[in-house]
């Protein structure tokens, strides 16, 4: 199947996103002087914006690429949570499975950006474990929706949604239904994702999960083989920043995919774009290698944008055509 045929099937796919929902708040401005009170820049604010972040950005990327998307996660009983659900529904993402937890705030990351320079970030969150009743509600909502989708994407930002209790109920259900399961993991939960279809850590996370240091290609190969064996997954995709990606497949095949970005302005949310595109391509019938190559080109597009961003089908088609010419 060709790349363009895979992309054409995106609009017919349904994906369920499970994970930590966040609000990415941006305060935009310019800097022309240093404060007389301390050696810090004075940012003259020009405007502010809110964008879907974390698992919500994963859902936004999937929707931008044409998929039908359901999202399961938690927000607080606060204006930020209301605005996030409203934003998702405005994008066409189904947010009726979002659980409102009155005992914790919606996770909000506030970034101050001067020109294209990220000045500082403030985080407002409660990253503790969810109450058992909240986890039970999440599992119920996954169970209701999973039979009707092609893939489950777990987006773990270690903010409390993804837990042992949740994963040990959701993964066996997905396997029984023969669903594609992709995971963007955090170190503390790495061992929970055994027998997923594909797990995609960055190289720092992969090294930490393997208890190793990656200083060379040989180190990377040892880490990839070790983690793939431990996870019993179909594939491990290690994202490596400006060095691209390395795909380890069951059976021993290893593919190193060079970075596709021409210019890098902001890497915020690039991992979300990789996960969204990889999952959607697999759901559309791509091989693991085809899906990884397409995801790599999607990441190359999004890092050329400032702030949390998404990729459109037109941008991805153009990037793939340019990649074939280069």
- 3-state secondary structure at position 108: strand
48-51: long-range contacts at Cβ-Cβ below 8 A with a sequence spacing of 24 or more? 49/25, 49/307, 50/23, 50/24, 50/25, 50/26, 50/83, 50/84, 50/87, 51/23, 51/24, 51/25, 51/26, 51/87, 51/307, 51/308
Residue 244 per-residue DSSP state: -
Question: Do the beta carbons of residue 183 and residue 196 sit within 8 Å?
Answer: yes
Residue 11 burial (CB count, 10 A) = 13
Whole-angstrom Cα distance, residue 271 to residue 254? Answer: 20
- 3-state secondary structure at position 136: helix
Give the Å distances, CA to CA, from 12 to 7, 142, 268: 10, 20, 28
Q: What is the DSSP string of 79-138?
A: HHHHHHHHHHHHHT-B-TTPEEETTSPPEEEEEEEETTEEEEEEEE---SPPPHHHHHHH
Contacts of 296 (CB under 8 A, 6+ apart): 244, 245, 257, 259, 260, 274
Question: Do the beta carbons of residue 305 and residue 265 sit within 8 Å?
Answer: yes
272 catalytically annotated = yes
Whole-angstrom Cα distance, residue 174 to residue 147? Answer: 8
Question: Do the beta carbons of residue 98 and residue 137 sit within 8 Å?
Answer: no
Q: Is 73 buried (19+), middle (13-18) or exposed (0-12) by CB count in 10 A?
A: buried
Catalytic residue annotation: 272
């Amino acid at each position: 199947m060709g790349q363009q045929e895979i992309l054409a099937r995106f609009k017919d796919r349904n994906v369920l996103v499970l994970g930590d929902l966040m609000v990415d708040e941006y305060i935009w401005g310019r800097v022309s002087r240093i404060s007389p009170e301390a050696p810090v820049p004075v940012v003259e604010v020009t405007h502010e914006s809110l964008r879907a972040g974390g698992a919500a950005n994963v859902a936004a990327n999937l929707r931008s690429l044409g998929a039908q998307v359901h999202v399961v996660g938690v927000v607080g009983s606060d204006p930020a949570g209301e605005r996030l659900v409203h934003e998702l529904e405005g994008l066409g993402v189904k947010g009726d499975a979002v659980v409102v937890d009155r005992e914790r705030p919606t996770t909000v990351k506030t970034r101050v950006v001067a020109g294209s320079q990220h000045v500082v970030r403030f985080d407002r969150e409660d990253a503790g474990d969810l109450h058992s009743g909240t986890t039970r509600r999440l599992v119920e909502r996954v169970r209701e929706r999973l039979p009707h989708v092609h893939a489950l994407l777990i987006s773990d930002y270690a903010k409390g949604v993804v837990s042992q209790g949740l994963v040990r109920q959701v993964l066996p259900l997905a396997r029984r239904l023969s669903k594609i399961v992709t995971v963007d993991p955090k170190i503390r939960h790495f061992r929970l994702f055994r027998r997923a279809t594909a797990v995609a850590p960055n190289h720092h996370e992969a090294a930490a999960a393997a208890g190793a240091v990656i200083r060379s290609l040989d180190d990377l190969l040892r880490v990839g083989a070790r983690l793939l064996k431990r996870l019993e997954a179909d594939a491990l995709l290690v994202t490596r920043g400006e060095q691209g990606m390395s795909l380890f497949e069951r059976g021993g095949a290893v593919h190193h995919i060079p970075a596709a970005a021409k210019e890098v302005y902001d890497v915020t949310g690039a991992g979300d774009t990789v996960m969204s595109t990889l999952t959607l391509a697999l759901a559309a019938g791509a091989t693991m290698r085809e899906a990884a190559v397409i995801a790599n080109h999607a990441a190359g597009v999004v890092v050329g944008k400032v702030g949390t961003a998404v990729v459109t089908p037109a941008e991805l088609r153009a990037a793939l055509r340019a990649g074939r010419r280069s």
